[in-house]
A = this chain, B = another copy of it.
Protein backbone atom coordinates (compact mmCIF):
# COMPACT_ATOMS: atom_id res chain seq x y z
CA UNK A 1 0.00 0.00 0.00
CA UNK A 2 2.37 2.69 1.24
CA UNK A 3 5.42 1.90 -0.87
CA UNK A 4 7.78 3.91 1.30
CA UNK A 5 7.10 1.49 4.15
CA UNK A 6 7.82 -1.73 2.29
CA UNK A 7 10.36 -3.77 4.23
CA UNK A 8 10.68 -1.11 6.92
CA UNK A 9 9.75 -1.34 10.57
CA UNK A 10 9.65 2.37 11.24
CA UNK A 11 8.35 5.47 9.51
CA UNK A 12 9.09 9.13 10.21
CA UNK A 13 6.56 11.87 10.70
CA UNK A 14 7.94 13.44 7.52
CA UNK A 15 7.21 10.38 5.36
CA UNK A 16 3.71 10.06 6.80
CA UNK A 17 3.11 13.75 6.29
CA UNK A 18 4.22 13.68 2.65
CA UNK A 19 1.99 10.71 2.03
CA UNK A 20 -1.19 12.29 3.31
CA UNK A 21 -0.25 15.79 2.20
CA UNK A 22 0.26 17.70 5.45
CA UNK A 23 3.24 19.01 7.44
CA UNK A 24 5.38 16.83 9.70
CA UNK A 25 4.72 18.82 12.84
CA UNK A 26 0.99 18.36 12.42
CA UNK A 27 1.50 14.62 12.52
CA UNK A 28 3.67 14.82 15.62
CA UNK A 29 1.37 17.23 17.44
CA UNK A 30 -1.72 15.14 16.72
CA UNK A 31 -0.07 11.93 17.88
CA UNK A 32 1.29 13.61 21.00
CA UNK A 33 -2.25 14.30 22.26
CA UNK A 34 -2.69 10.58 22.75
CA UNK A 35 0.73 9.77 24.18
CA UNK A 36 4.24 9.03 23.08
CA UNK A 37 4.21 6.58 20.18
CA UNK A 38 7.56 7.30 18.53
CA UNK A 39 11.26 6.94 19.20
CA UNK A 40 13.44 10.03 18.70
CA UNK A 41 16.02 9.49 15.98
CA UNK A 42 14.13 6.49 14.64
CA UNK A 43 10.49 7.27 13.97
CA UNK A 44 7.27 5.42 14.62
CA UNK A 45 7.03 1.64 14.70
CA UNK A 46 4.51 0.99 11.97
CA UNK A 47 2.83 -2.03 13.48
CA UNK A 48 2.48 -0.59 16.96
CA UNK A 49 1.34 2.76 15.57
CA UNK A 50 -1.44 1.11 13.58
CA UNK A 51 -2.52 -0.80 16.67
CA UNK A 52 -2.56 2.34 18.82
CA UNK A 53 -4.61 4.32 16.30
CA UNK A 54 -7.11 1.52 15.93
CA UNK A 55 -7.52 1.41 19.70
CA UNK A 56 -7.99 5.19 19.94
CA UNK A 57 -10.59 5.11 17.16
CA UNK A 58 -12.18 2.07 18.87
CA UNK A 59 -11.62 0.11 15.69
CA UNK A 60 -9.91 -2.76 17.54
CA UNK A 61 -13.13 -4.70 18.02
CA UNK A 62 -15.45 -5.86 15.27
CA UNK A 63 -18.92 -4.36 15.63
CA UNK A 64 -22.13 -5.67 14.15
CA UNK A 65 -24.29 -3.36 12.08
CA UNK A 66 -27.85 -3.58 10.72
CA UNK A 67 -28.90 -2.06 7.42
CA UNK A 68 -32.41 -0.66 7.02
CA UNK A 69 -33.64 -0.21 3.46
CA UNK A 70 -32.39 -2.47 0.66
CA UNK A 71 -32.91 -0.21 -2.34
CA UNK A 72 -30.15 0.75 -4.73
CA UNK A 73 -28.13 2.47 -2.04
CA UNK A 74 -28.70 -0.32 0.48
CA UNK A 75 -27.61 -2.91 -2.07
CA UNK A 76 -24.49 -0.90 -2.80
CA UNK A 77 -23.65 -0.86 0.89
CA UNK A 78 -24.17 -4.63 1.19
CA UNK A 79 -21.91 -5.20 -1.80
CA UNK A 80 -19.24 -2.87 -0.50
CA UNK A 81 -16.22 -4.74 0.90
CA UNK A 82 -14.67 -1.71 2.59
CA UNK A 83 -16.52 -1.96 5.89
CA UNK A 84 -14.49 -4.91 7.15
CA UNK A 85 -11.36 -2.75 6.93
CA UNK A 86 -12.77 -0.58 9.68
CA UNK A 87 -13.96 -3.40 11.93
CA UNK A 88 -17.59 -3.18 10.85
CA UNK A 89 -19.75 -6.10 9.86
CA UNK A 90 -23.23 -5.74 8.36
CA UNK A 91 -24.90 -8.90 9.65
CA UNK A 92 -28.55 -8.22 8.83
CA UNK A 93 -30.72 -6.10 6.57
CA UNK A 94 -34.33 -4.99 6.93
CA UNK A 95 -36.91 -3.88 4.39
CA UNK A 96 -40.67 -3.38 4.13
CA UNK A 97 -41.00 -4.88 0.64
CA UNK A 98 -42.38 -8.47 0.87
CA UNK A 99 -40.66 -9.29 -2.42
CA UNK A 100 -37.26 -8.59 -0.88
CA UNK A 101 -37.81 -10.20 2.51
CA UNK A 102 -36.21 -13.63 2.73
CA UNK A 103 -33.73 -13.00 -0.04
CA UNK A 104 -30.01 -13.06 0.60
CA UNK A 105 -27.76 -10.30 -0.74
CA UNK A 106 -24.01 -10.80 -0.38
CA UNK A 107 -24.52 -13.34 2.38
CA UNK A 108 -26.86 -11.08 4.34
CA UNK A 109 -30.47 -12.11 4.74
CA UNK A 110 -33.18 -9.50 4.37
CA UNK A 111 -35.68 -9.65 7.21
CA UNK A 112 -39.05 -8.05 7.79
CA UNK A 113 -38.57 -4.61 9.28
CA UNK A 114 -40.83 -5.55 12.19
CA UNK A 115 -38.00 -7.76 13.45
CA UNK A 116 -35.90 -4.67 14.09
CA UNK A 117 -36.76 -4.97 17.79
CA UNK A 118 -34.52 -8.03 18.10
CA UNK A 119 -31.30 -6.09 17.51
CA UNK A 120 -30.25 -5.72 21.13
CA UNK A 121 -30.51 -9.40 21.96
CA UNK A 122 -28.45 -10.14 18.88
CA UNK A 123 -25.68 -7.83 20.01
CA UNK A 124 -26.06 -5.37 17.13
CA UNK A 125 -25.15 -1.84 18.17
CA UNK A 126 -24.94 0.06 14.88
CA UNK A 127 -27.65 0.99 12.40
CA UNK A 128 -27.39 2.18 8.79
CA UNK A 129 -30.41 4.06 7.44
CA UNK A 130 -30.83 3.90 3.66
CA UNK A 131 -34.56 4.56 3.38
CA UNK A 132 -36.48 7.26 1.50
CA UNK A 133 -36.64 10.75 2.98
CA UNK A 134 -40.12 10.33 4.43
CA UNK A 135 -39.22 7.19 6.41
CA UNK A 136 -36.04 8.62 7.92
CA UNK A 137 -37.18 9.79 11.34
CA UNK A 138 -39.45 6.77 11.83
CA UNK A 139 -36.60 4.38 11.06
CA UNK A 140 -34.23 6.17 13.41
CA UNK A 141 -36.86 6.02 16.18
CA UNK A 142 -37.19 2.28 15.72
CA UNK A 143 -33.43 1.78 15.79
CA UNK A 144 -33.14 3.83 18.96
CA UNK A 145 -35.90 1.77 20.59
CA UNK A 146 -34.02 -1.35 19.58
CA UNK A 147 -31.05 -0.20 21.65
CA UNK A 148 -28.72 0.86 18.85
CA UNK A 149 -25.86 3.14 19.98
CA UNK A 150 -24.81 4.69 16.69
CA UNK A 151 -26.54 5.46 13.38
CA UNK A 152 -25.22 6.32 9.95
CA UNK A 153 -28.07 8.11 8.22
CA UNK A 154 -28.30 8.57 4.44
CA UNK A 155 -31.80 10.04 4.48
CA UNK A 156 -31.54 13.75 3.66
CA UNK A 157 -33.55 15.09 6.58
CA UNK A 158 -33.25 16.56 10.05
CA UNK A 159 -33.07 13.76 12.60
CA UNK A 160 -33.93 13.90 16.29
CA UNK A 161 -32.39 11.30 18.57
CA UNK A 162 -31.48 11.03 22.25
CA UNK A 163 -28.02 12.29 23.12
CA UNK A 164 -26.86 8.78 24.02
CA UNK A 165 -27.23 7.71 20.39
CA UNK A 166 -24.66 9.21 18.01
CA UNK A 167 -26.13 10.01 14.60
CA UNK A 168 -23.96 10.81 11.60
CA UNK A 169 -25.96 12.06 8.63
CA UNK A 170 -24.50 11.80 5.16
CA UNK A 171 -26.45 13.90 2.67
CA UNK A 172 -24.86 12.88 -0.61
CA UNK A 173 -26.55 15.60 -2.63
CA UNK A 174 -25.28 18.21 -0.20
CA UNK A 175 -21.73 16.91 -0.58
CA UNK A 176 -21.99 17.28 -4.33
CA UNK A 177 -23.47 20.73 -3.84
CA UNK A 178 -20.27 21.81 -2.07
CA UNK A 179 -18.35 21.54 -5.33
CA UNK A 180 -19.76 24.59 -7.17
CA UNK A 181 -18.53 26.77 -4.29
CA UNK A 182 -14.95 26.06 -5.38
CA UNK A 183 -15.66 26.71 -9.06
CA UNK A 184 -15.34 30.32 -10.27
CA UNK A 185 -17.81 29.98 -13.15
CA UNK A 186 -19.29 27.65 -15.75
Contacts and interface: CB of A to CB of B under 8 A. Distances in A.
Interface of A: 19-20, 57-59, 61, 63, 65, 71-73, 75-77, 79-80, 82-83, 85-88, 123, 125-126, 128, 133, 149-152, 156, 158, 166, 168, 170-183, 186
Contacts of A72: 72-73, 75-76, 79
Copies in the complex: 2
A100 to B, nearest CB: 14
A79 B72 CA distance: 8
Counting chain B CB atoms within 10 Å of each CB, which of A19, A123, A150, A151 scores highest?
A150
B75 A180 contact: no
B86 A176 contact: yes
A126 B176 contact: yes
Contacts of A83: 173, 176
Contacts of A87: 177, 180
